Amino acid sequence: MITNTPQVPSSASVSKLMLHVGYALVPGTLAYVWLFGIGVLVQILLACVTAVITEGLILALRKRPVAQTLADGSALLTAVLLALAISPIAPWWIIVLGTAFAIIFGKQLYGGIGYNPFNPAMLGYVMLLISFPLEMTNWPAAFSLLEQTPTLQTSLDVIFNSGLGIDTVSGATPLDAIKTQLAQGLDIPSTLISPDYGELFGALAGVGWEVVSIGFLLGGIYLLLTGRIAWQIPTAMLGTIAILASVFYLIDSSQYISPLLHLFGGASMLGAFFIATDPVSAATTPRGRIYYGIGIGVLTFVIRTWGGYPEGFAFAVLLMNMAAPTIDHYTRPTVFGQGKG
């Protein structure tokens, strides 16, 4: 075979890309650990170990280069994202099961990196949410809301000793609180000032959660500025959520969550910059990425507002993953010379 490829040095590489996405996760993750405890790091560690072992095993079974493929960092990134998406006080087997499922069924069975139609982390997340709703909806409260800061032992017990001492650390998430209260006929302004839930809400959204969201936003901006993620997806997604939330909030602020709570209260920031932008499962044409982002925004808003779950981002991503090939087909850019002169 004659090789006539460009002979200019290039520094682009997949592992470098993954590494920078990892760097960008640092501020949000640090804030998360600082405000919600060491459990976050334990989950990340469990996920990473599981991901490396599972991916290595499957690669060996598929007779593919193990070390080289693991070095691309994509399995680790999936693991970290899933660990950040589940509750830091979930029992250890939750994250192990979810990560293994994400790697095996979400990625390797489709042929490994580049061939998975769904975002593996979100596939793992949704599997867990549907199979283990109790464990998946037990969230910690921010340290500032607890009577006393849990010790390291308590944190580890919660994860490894069948939820020992879980009541001392758990609390409702802001989106969760509003959803349950609305179901019981209490409107949002009442929830915000209610003695039970009022303290959950901070300046932007939920106490603690808003800071974590800002951390992820900062990391996302870094990725945008360095051109490592497509700007269309997060912009379209967050813009759509902001617009829809504002419209409904203006119509009836007693029944609809404020746009700030939408943007900084749930998975919006982590999802918009780190999960929806996963290039493998997203739309790939410039225009298609806008539609893809809008789609995720709309679906997230719809599920949060009218669906059965307080957070709808994971479902929104998987649904739009399915639509990505069709979006790509209909949004092919006009090729040079075929448009108007």
- State the minimum distance, in angstroms, from the CB of residue 29 to another protein: 23
Is 176 near another protein (CB under 8 A)?
A: no
Is 162 near another protein (CB under 8 A)?
A: no
Q: What is the DSSP letter of 200?
A: G
Is 63 near another protein (CB under 8 A)?
A: no
- State the minimum distance, in angstroms, from the CB of residue 205 to another protein: 31
Residue in the block written with tokens 């918009």: 272
Outline where the chain has alpha helix (H). 14-36, 39-61, 66-70, 74-85, 92-104, 120-131, 133-136, 152-160, 174-183, 188-193, 209-225, 232-251, 259-265, 268-270, 286-306, 313-330
For residue 331 the two structure tokens come to: 């949004």
Is 148 near another protein (CB under 8 A)?
A: no
Which of the ranges 111-119, 196-204, 210-218, 265-273 carries the binding residues for another protein, by CB under 8 A?
111-119
Among 134, 148, 162, 336, binds another protein (CB under 8 A): 336
Is 308 near another protein (CB under 8 A)?
A: no
Is 3 near another protein (CB under 8 A)?
A: yes
For residue 235 the two structure tokens come to: 């912009």
Please state, in angstroms and rounded to a whole number, the distance separating the CA atoms of residues 157 and 149.
14
Cα 110 from chain centroid? 21
Cβ atoms of 136 and 154 within 8 Å: the answer is no
Please state, in angstroms and rounded to a whole number, the distance separating the CA atoms of residues 30 and 24.
11
Is 233 near another protein (CB under 8 A)?
A: no
Among 109, 253, 279, 330, binds another protein (CB under 8 A): 279
Cβ atoms of 304 and 312 within 8 Å: the answer is yes
Closer Cβ to another protein, 219 or 266, answer by number: 219
Please state, in angstroms and rounded to a whole number, the distance separating the CA atoms of residues 300 and 245.
11
Is 13 near another protein (CB under 8 A)?
A: yes
Among 93, 115, 131, 167, binds another protein (CB under 8 A): 115
Is 114 near another protein (CB under 8 A)?
A: yes
- State the minimum distance, in angstroms, from the CB of residue 269 to another protein: 21
Is 322 near another protein (CB under 8 A)?
A: no
| Torsions phi, psi for 264 (to 5 deg) | -110, 0
Closer Cβ to another protein, 104 or 228, answer by number: 228
Is 226 near another protein (CB under 8 A)?
A: no
Cβ atoms of 213 and 263 within 8 Å: the answer is yes
Among 23, 68, 250, 255, binds another protein (CB under 8 A): 68
Closer Cβ to another protein, 210 or 328, answer by number: 328
Is 8 near another protein (CB under 8 A)?
A: yes
Q: What is the DSSP letter of 171?
A: -
Is 230 near another protein (CB under 8 A)?
A: yes
- State the minimum distance, in angstroms, from the CB of residue 336 to another protein: 4
Q: What angle do the packed helices 152-160 and 39-61 form, to 10 degrees? A: 40
Closer Cβ to another protein, 10 or 148, answer by number: 10
Is 335 near another protein (CB under 8 A)?
A: yes
How many other CB atoms are there within 10 angstroms of residue 64's CB atom? Answer: 14
Q: Name the site residues for another protein (rule: CB under 8 A).
A: 2-10, 12-14, 16-17, 68, 72, 74, 111-115, 230, 279-280, 282, 284-286, 289, 328, 332-341
